[in-house]
Chains A and B, each alone.
Chain A
Amino acid sequence: NAGVTQTPKFQVLKTGQSMTLQCAQDMNHEYMSWYRQDPGMGLRLIHYSVGAGITDQGEVPNGYNVSRSTTEDFPLRLLSAAPSQTSVYFCASGPTGPQKLFFGSGTQLSVL
């Protein structure tokens, strides 16, 4: 039972570098989303998808891109990393919508 798998677990980037955070789920969930968690800020929604080929912006989308070519995968791309993107990133999925989300174990990203 893999559930929601995120890779990598840790990443250090230099300002201006780009990278992709991977997220895969094996539960055939239609809904997938990306959150970031910052100290004292709770979880904030970056992007979400209600099915393959459909994505939309959340609360804090700037500097991030997503795509959903398959039901299973929902990668998050940082186009040009900035120190403000230093955070812990969580991918989550839900059977039909954002209720009762299943979260991955997170990616800790540091941008120097």
Chain B
Amino acid sequence: DQQVKQNSPSLSVQEGRISILNCDYTNSMFDYFLWYKKYPAEGPTFLISISSIKDKNEDGRFTVFLNKSAKHLSLHIVPSQPGDSAVYFCAASALKYGGSQGNLIFGKGTKLSVKP
């Protein structure tokens, strides 16, 4: 039973346009959410996070939106650049509960291709 779902395995976007990556979760205990970016043959790198007390967090071209009632979050990249082409993983944690509940649960990832 997947607790964190990324239903789109891939996404193709034109350079300069907006990329929207989606993530759904099922566990109501999750209170902290992250996005990681992964290039081939490298480890994932942290991109942006959001706590459940917020509904939006912005960092440069990257914005994460959280809709708690829908158990849905999305990552917006504006404008998209060819260097953004990578696999993006959504992850969630039940941080306030601590212990093993605090461990990150990852989605399966979405491969973003930004075409020049």
Residues of chain A having any CB pair with chain B under 8 Å: 4, 33, 35, 40-45, 48, 56, 58, 90, 92, 97-106
Comparing B42-50, B54-62, B64-72, B74-82, the segment that makes contact with chain A is: B42-50
Separation of A97 and B99 alpha carbons in the complex (Å)? 9
Separation of A43 and B114 alpha carbons in the complex (Å)? 24
23 A-B pairs in the complex with CB atoms less than 8 angstroms apart: A4-B43, A33-B103, A41-B108, A42-B4, A42-B106, A42-B107, A43-B44, A44-B106, A45-B103, A45-B104, A58-B103, A97-B95, A97-B102, A98-B93, A99-B32, A99-B93, A99-B102, A100-B49, A102-B46, A103-B43, A103-B44, A104-B43, A105-B42
Which A residues are CB-close (under 8 A) to B95?
A: 97, 99
- A106: contacting residue among B34, B43, B91, B106, CB under 8 A: B43
Does B41 reach chain A (CB closer than 8 Å)?
yes
Contact at B34–A99, with CB atoms within 8 Å? Answer: yes
Which A residues are CB-close (under 8 A) to B41?
A: 105-106
Does B25 reach chain A (CB closer than 8 Å)?
no
Separation of A100 and B93 alpha carbons in the complex (Å)? 11
Which B residues are CB-close (under 8 A) to A102?
A: 46
Separation of A98 and B34 alpha carbons in the complex (Å)? 11
Which B residues are CB-close (under 8 A) to A42?
A: 4, 6, 89, 106-109
Separation of A101 and B109 alpha carbons in the complex (Å)? 17
Does B100 reach chain A (CB closer than 8 Å)?
yes
A24 to chain B, nearest CB (A): 14
Which A residues are CB-close (under 8 A) to B104?
A: 43, 45, 98-99, 101
A47 to chain B, nearest CB (A): 10
Separation of A3 and B106 alpha carbons in the complex (Å)? 22
